[in-house]
């Protein structure tokens, strides 16, 4: 094969032009012998069983274990990445195990998990592995969860929606310059992707990692919440997550709890029904409250469920239907 062959990857908006023998920006798609190959297919670098609350998903099968896996690489390069050791590594740089889709599904069933999460790094870059595994998982009665930055083109996102039951999507900030400078990506495709997921019936929860001085401005947070309210609806849960110094941003302190509490209050005032504070253990903002009568519906401590008072997905006091996938 000629060394000058050039391939265009249209999986994500980066539209990498990959020369024979080279990889795309995500490091996981390499042009070899006249075609681009997904080199992390069936080779996860992290496999764990987590509580579903860790994703975080608070309105999706609460209290259940979820089989979680990741493959190396990422199409974003967030300077604050919490999983940078695997997301910013090339597949050949880290240890992987051999786990084809059939083995993933068999292991998830054996471990009595009800769902599989494609997480830690971004499932976008192990797209083929995700779609094959998810389709097989569906046939065995398992649900599929993506934990993603949502930086993907429309066509592959449509394909992903067909096999995804729930997603926690990172909305890193409501600002194009932030996405460009801090993540080497863009905001618009992420917003479009979330709207598409909502339209296709994927259960969606949104996480916003609040980083001191970078995206903790309440004006920006208000704008983000207003966009969510009008495009995703008031029932889309929002998690304000606490930043911890990591990767290239080690010079900042962890997010003060007060900042997160203020952001949550703004979001509730704007009209979002379910707003949580993440990475802060033992907070009252971990619980799910009925948006109509204020009753505590699901009481949490960290990732564990202390009480689940929901009755068939409804508030036991006022009977309001609570949005989510409860069984």
Partner 1 sequence: MESQDISPHSIADRTGNVFRFGPHTPSYECRNVTKPVLSRRSFVMVLWLAPLTLLIHGNGWLNSGYSCRPALFCRKV
Q: Which residues lie near partner 1 (CB under 8 A)? A: 5-11, 17-18, 29-30, 32, 34-43, 97-98, 127-129, 132, 153, 155-156, 159
In contact, 114 and 325? CB cutoff 8 Å = no
To partner 1, the closest distance from the beta carbon of 19 in angstroms equals 11
Select 126 or 203, whichever has its Cβ closest to partner 1. Answer: 126
To partner 1, the closest distance from the beta carbon of 6 in angstroms equals 5
Select 127 or 174, whichever has its Cβ closest to partner 1. Answer: 127
Q: 278: which 2 tokens?
A: 């993440």
Select 155 or 180, whichever has its Cβ closest to partner 1. Answer: 155
Closest CA to 326 of 295, 298, 301: 298
Q: What is the DSSP letter of 94?
A: S
To partner 1, the closest distance from the beta carbon of 194 in angstroms equals 20
Q: 284: which 2 tokens?
A: 């009252």
Select 5 or 184, whichever has its Cβ closest to partner 1. Answer: 5
Q: 65: which 2 tokens?
A: 């274990």
Q: What is the DSSP letter of 255?
A: P
Closest CA to 3 of 34, 36, 38, 37: 34
Select 137 or 310, whichever has its Cβ closest to partner 1. Answer: 137
Dihedral through CA 306, CA 311, CA 314, CA 320, nearest 10?
-100
Select 69 or 210, whichever has its Cβ closest to partner 1. Answer: 69
Q: 29: which 2 tokens?
A: 């798609």
Q: How far is C-alpha 133 from the chain's CA centre?
A: 17
The C-alpha atoms of residue 221 and residue 228 are separated, in whole angstroms, by: 11
Please state whether the peptide bond connecting residue 197 to the residue before it is cis, i.e. omega within 30 degrees of 0. Answer: no
Select 124 or 267, whichever has its Cβ closest to partner 1. Answer: 124
To partner 1, the closest distance from the beta carbon of 156 in angstroms equals 6
To partner 1, the closest distance from the beta carbon of 162 in angstroms equals 13
To partner 1, the closest distance from the beta carbon of 36 in angstroms equals 4
To partner 1, the closest distance from the beta carbon of 182 in angstroms equals 26
Select 13 or 245, whichever has its Cβ closest to partner 1. Answer: 13
Closest CA to 53 of 150, 145, 171: 145
To partner 1, the closest distance from the beta carbon of 196 in angstroms equals 16
The C-alpha atoms of residue 211 and residue 252 are separated, in whole angstroms, by: 8
Return the SS3 of 242: strand
Return the SS3 of 135: helix
């Amino acid at each position: 094969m000629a060394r000058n062959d050039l391939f265009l990857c249209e999986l994500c908006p980066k539209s990498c032009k990959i020369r024979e023998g080279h990889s795309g920006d995500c490091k996981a798609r390499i042009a070899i012998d006249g075609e681009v190959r997904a080199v992390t297919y069936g080779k996860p670098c992290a496999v764990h069983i987590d509580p579903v609350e860790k994703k975080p998903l608070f309105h999706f099968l609460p209290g259940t274990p979820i089989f979680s896996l990741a493959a190396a690489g990422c199409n974003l390069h967030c300077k604050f990445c919490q999983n940078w050791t695997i997301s910013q590594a090339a597949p050949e740089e880290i240890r992987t195990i051999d786990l084809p889709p059939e083995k993933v599904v068999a292991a998830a069933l054996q471990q009595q998990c009800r769902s599989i999460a494609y997480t830690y790094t971004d499932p976008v870059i192990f797209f083929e592995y995700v779609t094959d595994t998810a389709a097989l998982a569906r046939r065995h009665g398992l649900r599929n969860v993506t934990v993603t930055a949502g930086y993907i083109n429309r066509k592959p996102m449509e394909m992903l929606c067909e096999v995804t039951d729930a997603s926690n999507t990172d909305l890193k900030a409501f600002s194009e310059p932030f996405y460009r400078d801090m993540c080497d990506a863009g905001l618009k495709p992420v917003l479009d992707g979330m709207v598409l997921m909502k339209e296709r019936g994927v259960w969606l929860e949104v996480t916003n990692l609040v980083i001191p001085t970078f995206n903790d401005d309440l004006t920006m947070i208000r704008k983000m919440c207003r966009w969510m309210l009008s495009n995703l609806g008031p029932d889309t849960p929002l998690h304000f997550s606490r930043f911890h110094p990591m990767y290239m941003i080690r010079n900042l302190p962890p997010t003060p709890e007060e900042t997160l509490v203020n952001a949550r209050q703004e979001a509730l005032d704007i009209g979002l029904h379910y707003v949580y504070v993440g990475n802060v253990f033992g907070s009252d903002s971990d619980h799910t409250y009925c948006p109509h009568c204020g009753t505590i519906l699901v009481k949490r401590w960290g990732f564990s469920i202390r009480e689940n008072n929901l009755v068939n997905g409804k508030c036991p006091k006022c009977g309001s239907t609570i949005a989510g996938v409860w069984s």
